[in-house]
Structure 1
Amino acid sequence: MQNKQRHGCLTAWLIYLIIAYSFSAVFYFFKTEEMSNIAQYNISENMMLLYGSFAILGVIFSIMLLKWIKLGFWGILIISVILFVVQLLNSDRVMSPIFILLCLVILYGLLQFKKANVTGWNNLE
Protein backbone atom coordinates (compact mmCIF):
# COMPACT_ATOMS: atom_id res chain seq x y z
CA MET A 1 0.00 0.00 0.00
CA GLN A 2 1.41 3.33 -1.04
CA ASN A 3 1.61 6.19 1.45
CA LYS A 4 -0.70 8.82 -0.03
CA GLN A 5 -0.12 12.45 0.80
CA ARG A 6 -2.46 15.35 0.33
CA HIS A 7 -1.60 19.02 -0.08
CA GLY A 8 -2.43 21.08 3.01
CA CYS A 9 -4.72 23.40 1.05
CA LEU A 10 -6.78 20.44 -0.15
CA THR A 11 -7.07 19.11 3.39
CA ALA A 12 -8.17 22.52 4.65
CA TRP A 13 -10.74 22.84 1.85
CA LEU A 14 -12.18 19.38 2.55
CA ILE A 15 -12.48 20.21 6.24
CA TYR A 16 -14.17 23.50 5.31
CA LEU A 17 -16.63 21.61 3.09
CA ILE A 18 -17.46 19.16 5.87
CA ILE A 19 -18.08 22.00 8.32
CA ALA A 20 -20.08 24.08 5.81
CA TYR A 21 -22.25 21.14 4.74
CA SER A 22 -22.81 20.22 8.41
CA PHE A 23 -23.95 23.73 9.30
CA SER A 24 -26.19 23.78 6.23
CA ALA A 25 -27.82 20.50 7.24
CA VAL A 26 -28.48 21.80 10.75
CA PHE A 27 -29.81 25.08 9.36
CA TYR A 28 -32.22 23.45 6.92
CA PHE A 29 -33.45 20.65 9.18
CA PHE A 30 -33.75 22.72 12.36
CA LYS A 31 -34.56 26.16 10.96
CA THR A 32 -36.31 28.57 13.31
CA GLU A 33 -37.95 31.93 12.74
CA GLU A 34 -34.98 33.72 14.29
CA MET A 35 -32.63 31.99 11.87
CA SER A 36 -34.89 32.92 8.95
CA ASN A 37 -34.88 36.56 9.99
CA ILE A 38 -31.10 36.63 10.34
CA ALA A 39 -30.52 34.89 7.00
CA GLN A 40 -33.38 36.72 5.27
CA TYR A 41 -34.00 33.52 3.36
CA ASN A 42 -37.53 32.12 3.11
CA ILE A 43 -38.09 28.83 1.33
CA SER A 44 -40.73 26.12 1.43
CA GLU A 45 -40.58 23.05 3.68
CA ASN A 46 -39.93 20.77 0.70
CA MET A 47 -36.99 22.87 -0.45
CA MET A 48 -35.58 22.87 3.08
CA LEU A 49 -35.72 19.06 3.11
CA LEU A 50 -34.07 18.91 -0.31
CA TYR A 51 -31.26 21.30 0.68
CA GLY A 52 -30.77 19.55 4.02
CA SER A 53 -30.56 16.16 2.31
CA PHE A 54 -28.00 17.46 -0.16
CA ALA A 55 -26.02 18.92 2.73
CA ILE A 56 -25.86 15.51 4.41
CA LEU A 57 -24.77 13.96 1.12
CA GLY A 58 -22.14 16.69 0.84
CA VAL A 59 -20.72 15.73 4.24
CA ILE A 60 -20.61 12.06 3.20
CA PHE A 61 -18.96 12.80 -0.16
CA SER A 62 -16.41 15.15 1.45
CA ILE A 63 -15.46 12.46 3.95
CA MET A 64 -15.11 10.03 1.05
CA LEU A 65 -12.64 12.44 -0.56
CA LEU A 66 -10.68 12.58 2.69
CA LYS A 67 -10.46 8.78 2.48
CA TRP A 68 -9.22 8.98 -1.16
CA ILE A 69 -12.44 7.67 -2.75
CA LYS A 70 -13.02 9.22 -6.19
CA LEU A 71 -16.78 8.71 -5.93
CA GLY A 72 -16.74 11.54 -3.39
CA PHE A 73 -15.74 14.03 -6.08
CA TRP A 74 -18.38 12.78 -8.51
CA GLY A 75 -21.00 12.96 -5.77
CA ILE A 76 -20.09 16.55 -4.95
CA LEU A 77 -20.14 17.37 -8.66
CA ILE A 78 -23.65 15.91 -9.08
CA ILE A 79 -25.16 17.60 -6.03
CA SER A 80 -23.48 20.89 -7.01
CA VAL A 81 -24.98 20.78 -10.50
CA ILE A 82 -28.42 19.91 -9.12
CA LEU A 83 -28.22 22.69 -6.52
CA PHE A 84 -27.01 25.12 -9.20
CA VAL A 85 -30.05 24.39 -11.37
CA VAL A 86 -32.46 24.49 -8.41
CA GLN A 87 -31.01 27.80 -7.24
CA LEU A 88 -31.30 29.28 -10.72
CA LEU A 89 -34.93 28.21 -11.03
CA ASN A 90 -36.16 28.96 -7.51
CA SER A 91 -34.12 31.84 -6.19
CA ASP A 92 -33.85 35.52 -6.97
CA ARG A 93 -30.31 35.53 -5.57
CA VAL A 94 -27.57 35.68 -8.18
CA MET A 95 -24.59 34.87 -5.98
CA SER A 96 -25.82 31.52 -4.62
CA PRO A 97 -25.50 29.59 -7.91
CA ILE A 98 -22.20 31.30 -8.68
CA PHE A 99 -20.85 30.39 -5.23
CA ILE A 100 -21.84 26.74 -5.75
CA LEU A 101 -19.86 26.56 -9.00
CA LEU A 102 -16.94 28.48 -7.50
CA CYS A 103 -16.65 25.94 -4.66
CA LEU A 104 -16.63 23.11 -7.19
CA VAL A 105 -13.93 24.79 -9.30
CA ILE A 106 -11.80 25.38 -6.18
CA LEU A 107 -12.15 21.71 -5.19
CA TYR A 108 -11.10 20.52 -8.63
CA GLY A 109 -8.19 22.97 -8.70
CA LEU A 110 -6.96 21.87 -5.29
CA LEU A 111 -7.11 18.24 -6.38
CA GLN A 112 -4.56 19.18 -9.07
CA PHE A 113 -1.96 20.41 -6.54
CA LYS A 114 0.98 18.06 -6.20
CA LYS A 115 2.41 16.61 -3.02
CA ALA A 116 5.45 14.31 -3.43
CA ASN A 117 5.11 14.71 -7.22
CA VAL A 118 1.59 13.20 -7.27
CA THR A 119 -1.64 15.16 -7.60
CA GLY A 120 -4.51 14.63 -5.24
CA TRP A 121 -6.62 13.53 -8.21
CA ASN A 122 -4.14 10.75 -9.04
CA ASN A 123 -4.27 9.53 -5.43
CA LEU A 124 -8.03 9.01 -5.60
CA GLU A 125 -9.17 5.43 -6.00
Structure 2
Amino acid sequence: MQKKERHGCLTAWLIYLIIAYSFSTILYFFKTDEMSKIAQYQISENMMLIHGSLGLLGILFSIMLFKWVKLGFWGIFSISIILFVLQLLNSNRIMSPIFIVICLVILFALLQIKKGNVSGWNNLE
Protein backbone atom coordinates (compact mmCIF):
# COMPACT_ATOMS: atom_id res chain seq x y z
CA MET A 1 0.00 0.00 0.00
CA GLN A 2 1.35 3.37 -1.04
CA LYS A 3 1.61 6.06 1.61
CA LYS A 4 -0.63 8.97 0.70
CA GLU A 5 0.94 12.41 0.82
CA ARG A 6 -0.88 15.70 1.05
CA HIS A 7 0.43 19.01 -0.28
CA GLY A 8 1.05 21.62 2.42
CA CYS A 9 -1.40 24.08 0.90
CA LEU A 10 -4.18 21.49 1.01
CA THR A 11 -3.35 20.68 4.62
CA ALA A 12 -3.46 24.37 5.53
CA TRP A 13 -6.80 24.82 3.72
CA LEU A 14 -8.36 21.82 5.48
CA ILE A 15 -7.22 23.20 8.84
CA TYR A 16 -8.69 26.58 7.86
CA LEU A 17 -12.01 24.90 6.97
CA ILE A 18 -12.16 23.08 10.30
CA ILE A 19 -11.46 26.30 12.21
CA ALA A 20 -13.90 28.37 10.12
CA TYR A 21 -16.70 25.82 10.46
CA SER A 22 -16.00 25.61 14.21
CA PHE A 23 -16.25 29.38 14.66
CA SER A 24 -19.43 29.60 12.59
CA THR A 25 -21.00 26.75 14.55
CA ILE A 26 -20.22 28.45 17.85
CA LEU A 27 -21.43 31.78 16.49
CA TYR A 28 -24.77 30.42 15.34
CA PHE A 29 -25.48 28.15 18.30
CA PHE A 30 -24.45 30.72 20.93
CA LYS A 31 -25.32 33.99 19.20
CA THR A 32 -25.99 36.99 21.45
CA ASP A 33 -27.48 40.41 20.80
CA GLU A 34 -24.01 41.96 21.00
CA MET A 35 -22.79 39.71 18.19
CA SER A 36 -25.81 40.68 16.10
CA LYS A 37 -24.99 44.36 16.49
CA ILE A 38 -21.35 43.82 15.55
CA ALA A 39 -22.16 41.65 12.53
CA GLN A 40 -25.14 43.80 11.48
CA TYR A 41 -26.83 40.63 10.33
CA GLN A 42 -30.27 39.64 11.60
CA ILE A 43 -31.25 35.99 11.39
CA SER A 44 -34.15 33.98 12.79
CA GLU A 45 -33.79 31.24 15.39
CA ASN A 46 -34.57 28.52 12.85
CA MET A 47 -31.97 29.85 10.42
CA MET A 48 -29.43 29.98 13.25
CA LEU A 49 -30.07 26.29 13.96
CA ILE A 50 -29.76 25.41 10.26
CA HIS A 51 -26.51 27.35 9.88
CA GLY A 52 -25.10 25.87 13.10
CA SER A 53 -26.02 22.34 12.00
CA LEU A 54 -24.41 22.90 8.60
CA GLY A 55 -21.31 24.10 10.44
CA LEU A 56 -21.18 20.86 12.41
CA LEU A 57 -21.51 18.88 9.20
CA GLY A 58 -18.76 21.03 7.68
CA ILE A 59 -16.41 20.08 10.50
CA LEU A 60 -17.27 16.40 10.01
CA PHE A 61 -16.78 16.52 6.24
CA SER A 62 -13.50 18.45 6.57
CA ILE A 63 -12.16 15.79 8.91
CA MET A 64 -13.28 13.14 6.43
CA LEU A 65 -11.28 14.91 3.72
CA PHE A 66 -8.32 14.95 6.07
CA LYS A 67 -8.65 11.15 6.24
CA TRP A 68 -8.85 10.85 2.43
CA VAL A 69 -12.59 10.08 2.21
CA LYS A 70 -14.10 11.41 -1.04
CA LEU A 71 -17.51 11.73 0.60
CA GLY A 72 -15.99 14.61 2.57
CA PHE A 73 -15.61 16.67 -0.61
CA TRP A 74 -19.14 15.92 -1.78
CA GLY A 75 -20.44 16.79 1.67
CA ILE A 76 -18.66 20.15 1.64
CA PHE A 77 -19.92 20.69 -1.91
CA SER A 78 -23.51 20.02 -0.77
CA ILE A 79 -23.18 22.26 2.28
CA SER A 80 -21.76 25.02 0.11
CA ILE A 81 -24.69 24.82 -2.31
CA ILE A 82 -27.19 24.94 0.57
CA LEU A 83 -25.38 27.88 2.20
CA PHE A 84 -25.17 29.66 -1.16
CA VAL A 85 -28.94 29.41 -1.64
CA LEU A 86 -29.66 30.42 1.98
CA GLN A 87 -27.38 33.44 1.68
CA LEU A 88 -29.03 34.51 -1.58
CA LEU A 89 -32.50 34.22 -0.07
CA ASN A 90 -31.84 35.67 3.38
CA SER A 91 -29.10 38.24 2.96
CA ASN A 92 -28.77 41.50 1.12
CA ARG A 93 -25.00 41.06 0.94
CA ILE A 94 -23.60 39.89 -2.37
CA MET A 95 -20.14 38.95 -1.10
CA SER A 96 -21.29 36.14 1.22
CA PRO A 97 -22.55 33.82 -1.55
CA ILE A 98 -19.59 34.70 -3.74
CA PHE A 99 -17.19 33.89 -0.89
CA ILE A 100 -18.82 30.48 -0.46
CA VAL A 101 -18.26 29.65 -4.13
CA ILE A 102 -14.67 30.93 -4.02
CA CYS A 103 -13.88 28.70 -1.02
CA LEU A 104 -15.28 25.67 -2.83
CA VAL A 105 -13.25 26.44 -5.97
CA ILE A 106 -10.09 26.85 -3.87
CA LEU A 107 -10.70 23.47 -2.21
CA PHE A 108 -11.17 21.75 -5.57
CA ALA A 109 -8.08 23.46 -7.01
CA LEU A 110 -5.95 22.46 -4.02
CA LEU A 111 -7.09 18.86 -4.41
CA GLN A 112 -5.63 18.94 -7.93
CA ILE A 113 -2.09 19.82 -6.76
CA LYS A 114 0.21 16.83 -7.06
CA LYS A 115 2.59 15.57 -4.43
CA GLY A 116 4.68 12.59 -5.45
CA ASN A 117 3.04 12.61 -8.91
CA VAL A 118 -0.39 11.93 -7.37
CA SER A 119 -3.00 14.63 -6.85
CA GLY A 120 -4.98 14.93 -3.64
CA TRP A 121 -8.13 14.13 -5.63
CA ASN A 122 -6.65 10.81 -6.80
CA ASN A 123 -5.75 9.95 -3.21
CA LEU A 124 -9.37 10.22 -2.10
CA GLU A 125 -11.13 6.92 -1.59
* Amino acid in the other structure paired with 1:79: I
Match of 1:100 in 2: 100
Q: CA deviation at 1:34?
A: 1.1
Q: CA deviation at 1:51?
A: 0.3
Q: How many residues align?
A: 125
Write the distance in 1 (CA, Å) between the matches of 2:121 and 2:52: 28
Q: CA deviation at 1:61?
A: 0.2
Compute the TM-score of the two structures, normalised by the length of structure 2: 0.98
Task: Give yes or no for the alignment of 1:65 onto 2:65.
Answer: yes
Match of 2:79 in 1: 79
Gap runs ≥5 in structure 1: none
Write the distance in 1 (CA, Å) between the matches of 2:13 and 2:37: 29
Gap runs ≥5 in structure 2: none
Provide the alpha-carbon RMSD of the alignment: 0.6
Match of 1:24 in 2: 24
Q: CA deviation at 1:23?
A: 0.2
* Amino acid in the other structure paired with 1:22: S
Q: CA deviation at 1:33?
A: 1.0
User: Percent identity over the alignment?
Assistant: 76
Compute the TM-score of the two structures, normalised by the length of structure 1: 0.98
Moved more, 82-91 or 50-59: 82-91
Match of 2:14 in 1: 14
